[in-house]
Amino acid sequence: MDFAVWFFLLIAMQQNRNIRVKGLGSNQICENAHQVSEIWEAWAPKWFSSVSVSFEHPDTYEEDAQGKTMCFYSGGVDSTYSLLRQYLAGNKHSLLTVHGMDYKADDKGKFDSLKHGYNFKRQAWLRKK
């Protein structure tokens, strides 16, 4: 049920409400989501508040996630650098982008371009040393 945290995190931050997931989930996800909410609150305190996250049934399967990362990806220089750094380090990674955060909700063209236009493995300039 970890996905539910990321799905609802921005909504909870906007409404200043904690997240309690009925189901099994990782304690590490709770900590990470809280840290992300603190960062967003520092960047945009008028729009976002830090929130706490918990699961009805906490699980400790963090050892399965070793070496995996998730990158909030906007398509900009900073997130591209972070993704590239993780890729070159050989880490497994997932991307999370939210339509309406880095791209305006009515800017479907740019968001679709982001979703469909990036394939790092086919980029010639990405070579491991």
Could you tell me which of 24, 43, 22, 25 has the C-alpha nearest to residue 33? 25
CA atoms of 105 and 100, how far apart (whole Å): 4
Which residues, 6 or more positions from 61, have their beta carbon under 8 angstroms from its beta carbon? Answer: 26
| pLDDT tens, residue by residue, 49-98 | 999 999 988 876 555 555 566 677 776 777 777 777 877 887 776 777 76
CB 93 within 8 A of CB 86: yes
Burial category of 108 from C-beta neighbours within 10 Å (exposed 0-12, middle 13-18, buried 19 and up): exposed
Specify the pLDDT at position 13.
95
Could you tell me which of 69, 19, 48 has the C-alpha nearest to residue 8? 19
Burial category of 19 from C-beta neighbours within 10 Å (exposed 0-12, middle 13-18, buried 19 and up): buried
| pLDDT tens, residue by residue, 29-51 | 899 999 999 999 999 999 999 99
pTM summary value: 0.55
Higher pLDDT, 104 or 67: 104
Q: How far is CA 60 from the centre of its chain?
A: 20
Specify the pLDDT at position 100.
65
CB 34 within 8 A of CB 45: no
Which residues, 6 or more positions from 119, have their beta carbon under 8 angstroms from its beta carbon? Answer: none
Specify the pLDDT at position 42.
94
Confidence category of residue 101, pLDDT binned at 50, 70, 90: low
